[in-house]
């Protein structure tokens, strides 16, 4: 039986999504708890100051593996509180690190930046124990979780395997499920392509009182009003399609082709339009239906101005980060691009902008400065976190 998520505890301006499964393996890591206090998203301070990002830099810490050279799923054995299997979505909120451990069908929660490589997670969501990995349905299960969005009020998880977005609240309110008629259903496009259905979901983001969901198989982004949402709620807006029943891919400026990622800052909405190898940027939430974006950046290639089947990204209003999966790298922009020709400033995972070999060798040998299938990236004002999916790890820079 899967253990439900309990109400979150709030104290000293910090919010924690609690589960009934906590890690009790080994001694308490007091240094790690102390680090969490300086990792708070409200104060934005960090020990030693923010990381300076440089080309081809080495990571400072690895999560999911015991060291920087190992890369087997679950370290070649069974799942534990310290292992990962194809991690994807990653977010940091109020000092806690949330990692979507996709093929283990769970979300791991770390209370602060780990101070050792291969540290144990503190909580697990979606499983009854740290060793359970079966895909789950119902109100407490997860199946291939990917993108994550967190606010003081809720945790939203995009589930590829259940073709839904599950929303768990920080109060006693029961969870709700978008894209399905109830918590026991998981048929993709249940009832047909509509404002109430979705295919396997990969990305989710908040923008004001709206929740934005990447529906890549239907080549669209769905927009939900959180003031009126409930299980099987209808989206109030669609991006990339002329209506809620269309799902054709398009390379037009207002079309989309397999949009894996959706992310926002205080002003803009960014769509990772993977099939078109571009980032589509809107100033605010666009209206009316299918408006032209503010900027379309990128095309297929391996340069400082091109992408290859990128998954998602992160923006804080000043800088932009893109997980360029096909080129096995993270593109860092020191300023939000103003034109389609503005190049990235820094590349991480590759020695330069002209290379794109996985692990920098087209081999399975992981390194502290290499990536293989980078899917998601986030920056908390102190550290950069990258889900290095094929190496079954999360790197901290």
DSSP conformational letter for 226: T
- Print burial letters for 172-194: b (CB count within 10 Å at least 16), e (below 16): eeebbbbbbeebebbebbbeebe
Of 139, 166, 142, 167, nearest to 153 (Cα)?
167
Dihedral sign for Cα 226, 154, 184, 193, please: positive
For residue 396 the two structure tokens come to 């901290």
Separation of alpha carbons 259 and 280, rounded Å: 10
For residue 52 the two structure tokens come to 């300076």
Q: Structural domain boundaries of the chain? A: 9-396
Separation of alpha carbons 274 and 268, rounded Å: 19
Separation of alpha carbons 119 and 113, rounded Å: 10
Q: Architecture of domain 9-396 in CATH?
A: 6 Propeller (2.120)
User: What is the full per-residue pLDDT of the chain (397 aa) written as tens digits?
Assistant: 222 333 333 222 334 443 436 664 433 333 333 333 223 333 457 888 999 999 999 999 999 999 999 999 999 999 999 999 999 999 999 999 999 999 999 999 999 999 999 999 999 999 999 999 999 999 999 999 999 999 999 999 999 999 999 999 999 899 999 999 999 999 999 999 999 999 999 999 999 999 999 999 999 999 999 999 999 999 999 999 999 999 999 999 999 999 999 999 999 999 999 999 999 999 999 877 657 899 999 999 999 999 999 999 999 999 999 999 999 999 999 999 999 999 999 999 999 999 999 999 999 999 999 999 999 999 999 999 999 999 999 999 9
Give yes or no for a contact between 38 and 46, defined as CB atoms under 8 angstroms apart. Answer: yes
SS3 percent helix, strand, coil of the chain, rounded to 5, is 10, 30, 60
Of 196, 186, 191, nearest to 144 (Cα)?
186
Separation of alpha carbons 266 and 147, rounded Å: 19
């Amino acid at each position: 039986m899967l253990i439900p998520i309990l109400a979150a505890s709030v104290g000293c301006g910090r919010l924690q999504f609690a589960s009934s499964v906590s890690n009790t393996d080994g001694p308490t890591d007091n240094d790690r708890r102390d680090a969490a206090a300086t990792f708070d998203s409200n104060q934005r301070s960090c020990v030693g100051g923010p990381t300076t990002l440089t080309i081809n830099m080495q990571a400072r810490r690895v999560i999911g593996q015991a060291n920087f050279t190992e890369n087997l799923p679950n370290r070649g054995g069974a799942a534990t509180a310290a292992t990962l299997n194809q991690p994807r979505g990653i977010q940091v909120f109020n000092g806690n690190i949330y990692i979507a451990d996709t093929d283990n069908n769970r979300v791991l929660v770390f209370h602060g930046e780990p101070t050792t490589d291969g540290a144990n997670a503190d909580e697990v969501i979606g499983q009854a124990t740290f060793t359970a990995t079966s895909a789950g349905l119902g109100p407490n299960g997860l199946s291939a979780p990917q993108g994550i969005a967190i606010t003081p009020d809720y945790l939203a998880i995009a589930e590829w395997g259940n073709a839904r977005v599950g929303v768990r609240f920080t109060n006693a309110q029961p969870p709700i499920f978008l894209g399905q008629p109830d918590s026991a259903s998981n048929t993709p496009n249940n009832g047909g392509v509509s404002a109430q259905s979705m295919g396997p979901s990969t990305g989710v983001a908040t923008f004001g009182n709206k929740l934005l969901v990447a529906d890549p198989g239907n080549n669209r982004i769905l927009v939900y009003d959180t003031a009126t949402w409930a299980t099987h709620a209808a989206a109030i807006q669609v991006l990339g399609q002329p209506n809620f029943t269309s799902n054709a891919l398009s390379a037009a400026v207002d079309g989309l082709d397999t949009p894996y990622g959706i992310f926002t800052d205080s002003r803009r909405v960014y769509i990772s339009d993977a099939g078109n190898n571009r980032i589509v940027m809107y100033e605010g939430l666009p209206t009316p239906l299918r408006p032209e974006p503010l900027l379309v950046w990128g095309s297929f290639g391996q340069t400082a101005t091109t992408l290859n089947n990128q998954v998602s990204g992160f923006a804080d209003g000043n800088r932009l980060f893109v997980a360029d999966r096909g080129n096995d790298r993270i593109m860092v922009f020191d300023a939000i691009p103003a034109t389609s020709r503005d190049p990235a400033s820094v590349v991480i995972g590759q020695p330069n902008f002209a290379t794109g070999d996985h692990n920098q060798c087209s081999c399975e040998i992981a390194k502290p400065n290499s990536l293989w299938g980078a899917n998601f990236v986030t920056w908390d004002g102190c550290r950069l976190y990258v889900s290095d999916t094929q190496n079954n790890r999360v790197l901290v820079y």
